[in-house]
Amino acid sequence: MTESRFYEELGILGIDITETQKQQFRLYFELLVEWNQKVNLTAITDQEQVYLKHFYDSATLVKMVSFDEVGSLCDIGTGAGFPGLVLKILFPNLEVTLIDALNKRILFLKAVIQSLHLEKIEVVHARAEDYAKEHREQFDIVTSRAVSSLPVLLEYSIPLVKINGFFIPMKANIAQEIVDSKHAIQTLYVELVDQIQFQLPLENSQRTILKFRKIKKTEAKFPRKFSEIKKKHL
C-alpha cells in the first residue's frame, strides 16, 4: 500500500488526515526500520507492507468504535505500537497507554513518541498481569493486536476495562478461539456484543475484530504469565 493509497483508504474509513499526521507516519516508519536493525520489532519492513499490514490494519479498529467518543485506551502487548500508537497519531486527543514486557520495545516506543511530539500517551514496561492488578477499571477501551489465546487475553484485559467499557481484540482468524473462550466469557461477566470480518485491501488477507462489553466487576486469577504468550506477525 503506497502512502497515497493509505490516505485514500483512511478516507474510506472516515478518517481525515492532516499534513502533520502524514509526516508523523513517515517518521514512524523511518524509526521502525532504523530500530529494527538492532531490535526485533517486526518481520515486516518494506514500506508498502508496513503501511498496509501495520498502519492501515491498526486503523481498522475504527470499524468497531468511534474514537471521538473515547477518552482512554490501553494497548496490551503493543510490540512496536500496533494498534495503540497508530491510533494515537490518528486521534491526538485520545489518552493512550502502551504496555509491553520487553524493555527494548519500550525504548523504541519512547523514541517514537518523543520524535513525533505526542502528548497524553504513556509507555509502561510491565507484564500485563502485573499491571492489571494495580490498575483495575481504568480504561474505556482495552485492545490487543495479533496476540494469541483469546481466553487468556480476556482474563488479563477485562480487569483493566471500566464497567460498560469494551475489550476489542484484533485477530486474523478467531472462530475456534471464540468457542474456546465460552467459559472465560461467562466467568468474567462480559458479553460479545459485536464482531466483524473483512479483508485487507490489495492482498485480501482475513481480519477479525471482536467487541466485548464488561457487564460488572470481575476478579482476575492470572493462571500464567501474559509475557509468555508470543505475539504473532501478521
Phi, psi at residue 164, to the nearest 5°? Answer: 70, 10
Please determine, for residue 64, whether its predicted confidence score (pLDDT) is greater than 70. yes
As a whole number, mean pLDDT of residues 60-72 equals 93
Contacts of 76 (CB under 8 A, 6+ apart): 99, 128, 131, 142, 143, 144, 147, 153, 156, 157, 160, 226
Residue 148 neighbours by CB distance under 10 Å? 14
Please determine, for residue 229, whether its predicted confidence score (pLDDT) is greater than 70. no
Confidence label for 161 from pLDDT (cuts 50, 70 and 90): very high
Confidence label for 129 from pLDDT (cuts 50, 70 and 90): confident
Q: Provide the whole-model pTM.
A: 0.89
Confidence label for 218 from pLDDT (cuts 50, 70 and 90): low
Confidence label for 133 from pLDDT (cuts 50, 70 and 90): confident
pLDDT: is 88 or 218 the higher one? 88
Cβ 178 vs Cβ 210: under 8 Å: yes
Confidence label for 174 from pLDDT (cuts 50, 70 and 90): confident
Please determine, for residue 199, whether its predicted confidence score (pLDDT) is greater than 80. yes
Least confident of 78-82, 92-96, 187-191: 187-191
Residue 22's identity, in one-letter code, is: K
Q: What is the pLDDT of residue 36?
A: 96
Q: What is the pLDDT of residue 221?
A: 52
Residue 38's identity, in one-letter code, is: K
Q: Which of 56, 47, 58 is nearest to 85 (CA)?
A: 58
Q: How many CA atoms lie within 13 A of 207 on its CB side?
A: 24
Residue 184 neighbours by CB distance under 10 Å? 17
Q: What is the pLDDT of residue 225?
A: 45
Confidence label for 187 from pLDDT (cuts 50, 70 and 90): confident
Q: How many CA atoms lie within 13 A of 204 on its CB side?
A: 0
Q: What is the pLDDT of residue 148?
A: 61
Cβ 48 vs Cβ 2: under 8 Å: yes
Least confident of 15-19, 202-206, 218-222: 218-222
pLDDT: is 149 or 84 the higher one? 84
Please determine, for residue 65, whether its predicted confidence score (pLDDT) is greater than 70. yes
Please determine, for residue 176, whether its predicted confidence score (pLDDT) is greater than 80. no
